[in-house]
Chains A and B, each alone.
Chain A
Amino acid sequence: MARLSRRYLVACIRVSTIVWLVAHYALTVAYVMPVNPVKIELQPVLNATIGAYFYQNWSFFAPNPLSSNYALLMRPLTQLDLDMIPKAGPPADGWYDLSSPVWSRFQENRLTAYDRVTRPQSNAIRQYLSGGPQLTPWAESCEKGDLASCAFYENQLTVARADAGRLLAKVGSAFCRDVACSSKKVTHVAFRARETMSVPWSQRNTAQPAVRDIELGIYPVNERAASTGLYLAPEAE
């Protein structure tokens, strides 16, 4: 009798694993596909299952690859600098490039963590500017004139910017610790994203990349922030 119930239990386990496998991959396929009617219909189930416990995103460099460089520029600010900004705008000099030196080191030696060091900065910039990849469908829908999508996008963009700002403040504070900002009475840091846009394919042999600076806000320095130990004596522009 005991042997029979054990065999029954094993058979149950076997059947349930097969059912799980089929259901799991049916949901996974629905989750990773572009927005379609089935995905919209199943959204609550997908978010509660795959989205929560088996989160995945395989849109590597798709639908279109990244085609601009976003370097993070930072300017340490004293209280005096901060007071001047409403009248004179952000200072024109004294900006540090936190991304480019790390990129060039990573290009020299691939077997390092330099890529990972700049990843939070780059992701924070993209999140600040566009809300991140998860808001892209809403932004596209908004561009097509859907007012509900626009309202949702604006709301989520505010949340995403606040999150990105917190991360940037930590990056700036860590840099400040590395270059000893406290001795210069630095209280805040200002950030800019320097976007270097790729030259379009048709002009690849004639044009130069266009460059523009985008202000990313001013944040207070956290003096207890962990140091990277990486930025030792950078030169400001």
Chain B
Amino acid sequence: MVKVWRWLADEPHQTVGVRALQVALGSMLLYRVFTEAPFAAYFWGPNGLGSGSSQVILGPSIGGVVDTIFSTESGTVGLIGVLGAGALGLILGCWTRASTALALIAFFLLEQRLPHLTDGGDNVTRLVLTYMLFALPARASPAPGSLSVWLHNVAVLAIALQVVVLYATSGFMKASGDKWHHGVALYYISQVEWFSLPSFREIFKNPLITTAATYVPMLYLLMFPVAIVSRLKLPWLLVGILFHLGIAIFMGLVTFSAAMIGLALFLVSDSEYGWMKARVSMMEARLHRVATRPRWRLPGTLSALRERILETQRRTL
């Protein structure tokens, strides 16, 4: 108990991870701004698809006022601009708390306006942005043991627990489905146009590939909570990053994958980043030594051969 208290109170944790998460979520949000802004009026505008209201959460008075943003096209575009500004702030590490707040407000309002547009990546982004409001600003150096350090560490713990809940629930749900249970889920997903590439369709008719591609992610998800507190943590997170790159390419869930890769990078601790940095520096130094070492001269080089021929000719003469 004392150990946990000191972990929360003394020093800020995951500072590099929080920064990586800010960059990942900022990039994902900026990507959404650039790709979806041309459809802003169609999705969220006064005559667009969305008709949802934030009054359910914010109440009739505040929600009613906030909803008027969508009564004009310029208000809608302005809100996308706010989301873009927040995303840019997160990427650049400028006023990260204010940027997080801007991104969260804009993102929340757009989600409420058209809930049919969102996916799991948007869901986790909204939750994580909420917790990130309490994270320390980028490049901050608070006094050890201060309240801001405590709140930062509680936010770190909240984000980590959210990731664990996400993976464990997803694995648990899959384990109860008969298509996952019988190792053919990936075959069926590969047949759906929305989530597949036609070039991969034949590959998933192979029993070995389909069974492995179904069971491996399910086991990965189920074992995630245990793996990240074990020695397998770093390889597990690396596999997770590769897994989500595959989801982005094969299934086209680009924004979901970006958010999940950001969360995998977040889970790497500061000491692990330090260890990886030291390993990279060591490898760089080794490569530098190899590159600058005097080159081996073979005994039978051309000049030596020429010298030997000339010597033979001289003797013959």
Q: Which residues of A contact B (CB under 8 A)?
A: 10, 13-14, 17-18, 21, 24-25, 28-29, 32-34, 52-69, 100, 103-104, 106-107, 110-113, 115-120, 122-124, 166-167, 170-171, 174, 198-199, 201, 204-205, 209, 222, 224-230
Instruction: Tell whether A62 pairs with B176 under 8 Å between CB atoms, given A25-B161, A55-B123, A69-B194.
Output: yes
Instruction: Tell whether A65 pairs with B169 under 8 Å between CB atoms, given A13-B147, A21-B157, A58-B120.
Output: no
Taking CB atoms, residues of chain A closer than 8 Å to B124 are 56
Contact A64 B127 (CB under 8 A): no
In the complex, what distance in Å separates the CA atom of A54 from the CA atom of B158?
A: 12
Contact B179 A65 (CB under 8 A): yes
Shortest Cβ gap from B210 to chain A (Å): 8
Taking CB atoms, residues of chain B closer than 8 Å to A111 are 31, 35, 254
Query: Of all chain A residues, which has the CB nearest B170?
Result: A58
| Interface residue B69 (Cβ < 8 Å from any Cβ of A) | no
**Besides the known contacts A62-B173, A65-B180, A228-B39, 12 further A-B residue pairs in the complex with CB atoms under 8 A apart:** A25-B158, A57-B120, A61-B174, A64-B177, A65-B179, A66-B192, A69-B193, A106-B252, A116-B117, A201-B184, A204-B187, A229-B39
In the complex, what distance in Å separates the CA atom of A47 from the CA atom of B177?
A: 25
Q: Which residues of B contact A (CB under 8 A)?
A: 8-9, 31-32, 35-36, 38-39, 41-43, 45-49, 51, 56-57, 114, 116-117, 119-120, 123-124, 127, 130, 147, 150-151, 154, 157-158, 161-162, 165-166, 169-170, 172-174, 176-180, 184-185, 187-189, 191-198, 205, 210, 248-249, 252-254
Contact of B51 among A66, A107, A112, A166 (CB under 8 A): A166
Contact B169 A32 (CB under 8 A): yes
Instruction: Tell whether A64 pairs with B192 under 8 Å between CB atoms, given A115-B252, A117-B39, A226-B41.
Output: no
Contact of A107 among B117, B158, B179, B198 (CB under 8 A): B198
Shortest Cβ gap from A171 to chain B (Å): 7
Contact A28 B254 (CB under 8 A): no
In the complex, what distance in Å separates the CA atom of A52 from the CA atom of B188?
A: 33
Taking CB atoms, residues of chain B closer than 8 Å to A113 are 32, 35-36, 38-39
In the complex, what distance in Å separates the CA atom of A87 from the CA atom of B1?
A: 77
Taking CB atoms, residues of chain A closer than 8 Å to B205 are 204-205
Taking CB atoms, residues of chain B closer than 8 Å to A230 are 39
Shortest Cβ gap from A91 to chain B (Å): 26
Contact B154 A17 (CB under 8 A): yes
Shortest Cβ gap from A142 to chain B (Å): 19
Taking CB atoms, residues of chain A closer than 8 Å to B158 are 21, 24-25
Instruction: Tell whether A119 pairs with B123 under 8 Å between CB atoms, given A64-B177, A226-B48.
Output: no
Instruction: Tell whether A110 pairs with B254 under 8 Å between CB atoms, given A56-B123, A63-B173, A100-B193.
Output: yes
Taking CB atoms, residues of chain A closer than 8 Å to B198 are 107
In the complex, what distance in Å separates the CA atom of A104 from the CA atom of B193?
A: 8
Contact B154 A65 (CB under 8 A): no
In order of increasing CB-CB distance, the 5 nearest A-B pairs are A63-B177, A62-B173, A113-B35, A198-B191, A67-B188
Contact of A29 among B51, B165, B176 (CB under 8 A): B165
Contact A14 B9 (CB under 8 A): yes
Shortest Cβ gap from A1 to chain B (Å): 20
Taking CB atoms, residues of chain B closer than 8 Å to A55 are 123
Shortest Cβ gap from B111 to chain A (Å): 10
Query: Of all chain B residues, which has the CB nearest A178?
Result: B42
A-B contacts, 7 listed (Cβ < 8 Å): A33-B172, A57-B123, A60-B173, A61-B185, A63-B178, A65-B179, A226-B41
Shortest Cβ gap from A68 to chain B (Å): 7
In the complex, what distance in Å separates the CA atom of A98 from the CA atom of B241?
A: 34
Shortest Cβ gap from A100 to chain B (Å): 7
Taking CB atoms, residues of chain B closer than 8 Å to A222 are 47
Contact A60 B170 (CB under 8 A): yes
Taking CB atoms, residues of chain B closer than 8 Å to A116 are 35-36, 39, 43, 117
Query: Of all chain A residues, which has the CB nearest B35?
Result: A113
